[in-house]
Structure 1
Amino acid sequence: MAREAIEILKEHEANLILHAGDIVELETLKDLKNSNLPYAAVLGNNDYHLAKFKEEFELFNEPHIFNFENLTIKLMHHPKFLSANTDIIAFGHTHSFTAVLNNYSLFINPGEICGRKYGNFTFALLCCQDKNFQVFKFIKTPQDEKFNEIEVNLG
């Protein structure tokens, strides 16, 4: 599923891919690297076995704070660093999709591409122009042939 999500993000001309942890499979890191897009990933609580690959991939401990284009991004797995001190706060761990705008900061959890906890496969596409955010949720149930795209209301 991760490879399919990466291909959809490329079709939508994504400029950056984020993975908020629970990567689990080395193959997913290889898919991110082979996407030829800038990417960043953080280790989740199911990724201890992947820590030895941090030098080979854009793989970091949490929180990983960095700048991309005109945005400051905080990428983490555990939602314990959820302060509104960057433009985007991307997190995982709960496996539940969330997108909330609070004090000009976007808090976003793409859900779970693995479908392990809730059975649905989800990821997000974030569009940003002049710090105005637009979020799209992609979801695929086990019965679906393809991902469905839903615009998220941040209001």
Structure 2
Amino acid sequence: MKIGILSDSHFKSDYTKEVIDLLKEQKCEYLVHAGDLCIEKNLQLLEESKLPYVSVFGNNDMSLFSLSNKYVIKQEPYYFKIKEHKFKLMHMPYHLSPDSDIVIFGHTHMFECEYKNKTLFINPGEVCAREKPHIECALLEINENEYIISHYFKDINKKNYEKEEYKYER
């Protein structure tokens, strides 16, 4: 199973579309957005992907509260399951407890992944290229005995994405 993970799109809907297209090219089956979508267009892009998706409100998403019945956007921390895997999704990294199989967060604009106490923690970095001149996202592949996390990143002035891969036995 492959899950595309993105966060911190802010007002960069062109970058958000680019990242969603990249994740779809990598055959992701689900999309997870860890907040700070900031504008309805980013929610529309998730919807238009035709993939099952979930997102949470970030600290810059107050203007999107009225859209919670139109799109799949939830209050944090939001717990959900995909198949037998339990997820916790949030924007602010305030609930980083190992009470799920996979904890996804955003806000820091920095890519992170760590597997500890049988919980995988992932921050996909930033889509918006605000803190550094990179567009970032992550692809989580869940196999029977391992997690494979691919961190995709691209300089805003370049054409192609680079990839770093992390593997954890589970």
What's the TM-score, normalizing by structure 2?
A: 0.87
1:124 and 2:138 equivalent?
Answer: yes
Deviations 1:40-68 (A, max 9, x none): 00000111101111110110010000011
Distance 1:60 1:142 in 2: 30
Q: Which residues of structure 1 form unaligned runs of 5+? A: none
Equivalent residue number for residue 9 of structure 1: 23
Runs of 4+ with >2 A deviation: 152-155
* Contact preservation (8 Å) 1:139, 1:149: yes
Between Structure 1 and Structure 2, how many residues are aligned?
155
The alignment yields a C-alpha RMSD, in angstroms, of 1.3
In the TM superposition, what is the alpha-carbon distance from 1:153 to its structure 2 partner?
5.1
- Any stretches of 5+ residues in structure 2 without a counterpart? 1-14
Question: Helix, strand or coil: the match of 1:107?
Answer: strand
Aligned to 1:67: 81
Could you tell me which residue of structure 2 aligns to residue 33 of structure 1?
47
Secondary structure (helix, strand or coil) at the match of 1:56 reads: coil
Q: Is the 8 A contact 1:99 1:154 kept in 2?
A: no
1:97-145 deviations in Å (ceiling 9; x for gaps): 0000011111000000011122211100000012521000000112211
**Residue equivalent to 2:8:** none
Whether 1:95 and 2:109 are equivalent positions in the alignment is yes
Matching residue within 76, 95, 114 for 1:81: 95
The share of aligned pairs that are identical, in percent, is: 35
Normalised TM-score (structure 1): 0.95
For the residue of structure 2 that corresponds to 1:116, the secondary structure is coil
Name which structure has the greater RCO, CA cutoff 8 Å, separation 6+: 2
